[in-house]
Structure 1
Amino acid sequence: MLLIGMVVHIQVYLFVSLQRIVGCVFAEPIKEAFRVASCSDDGHSASARKREKKLRPTTLQFGNIVFQREVGKRVVNVSDSEAMDSRAISCESQPVAAACGIRAIWVTPSNRRKHIASQLLDTVRKSFCVDELERAQLAFSLPTSVGKALASSYSGTGSFLVYKAV
């Protein structure tokens, strides 16, 4: 695919523990984002937890670099309205100025709940721009239900910022 006149500078931050990458975040410069109208979902419904299956290792390859990763296999019941609406987000209509978008964030399942995602986001805030960004100034691309919970918890508000990744 050929893109003319479009340059995206994505910065990748890795969290390494015991010579393994256990987390990563992809951050990019943005100009505007939208504030979520409300976010009361904690991202961990009972039916979502029931759908989780055992983890199986797979590989992720970028050129000559191969990463070992863990992926949870989930079965989604299309009649479940929670699954259908888990990525629906209601936003305010007016955009706000924003500088940093979090396109993706990932932590190995065995290392979750250890504040690795928060440490990665703190590093992005401190090093992405000349001025340190506040927690509430990070915008997230369309998050999953777990991502909504992370964004809400990290920013300290249910009305965190979201943006549409190009």
Structure 2
Amino acid sequence: MVFGRRAGISAAKYARDADYGRLGEDPEAETRELIAGLKNSSGKENAAAIRKELQETMMNNVGIFRNGPDMEKQVEILKELKARYQNVGVADVSAKFNGDLIDAVELGFLLDCAEAMTASAVNRTESRGAHEREDYTTRDDKNWLKHTMAYKDMNNDGNVLIGYKPVALKGYTRSFEPKARVY
């Protein structure tokens, strides 16, 4: 609730103050194409089956306790799941209250998020917070006191690019300075 409230306040402030770019001539064309592609697909892959495999493999390979080899394995699994997603078909092609279509659309976005999460996790060679890397067991503020920013490279087959944003420590009191968790 705390972070949801903060996110909402921040989003509202951004919406009030932001300069928005101009929309193209047909801004909803990409969404119409996505939906039409799923509705008209003769693919035999089932979105629910892919989603279940995505959930299980992400939990097993990029969960709280993780390591490089398992995460690299997940990178390959995600490539396979994304390829299978290209053959997803929806049984219900109705225009109203279509849970089958919504599930298929959401799955595509979940695959994109999983790809960004996995690439970011592979890249971060430390343990921090609730994420424990078995192959990098210590926290490394010298190299990793920064936010990871993952981007989809639209000019290079959709590969994930990694960037960083500095952590703002201004305003922290002495009792809330970043430090390793000890139990």
Q: TM-score, normalised by structure 1?
A: 0.28
The structure that is strand-richer by fraction is 1
* Bigger radius of gyration: 2
The structure that is helix-richer by fraction is 2
Q: Considering Cα pairs closer than 8 Å and 6+ residues apart, tell me whether 1 or 2 has the greater RCO.
A: 1
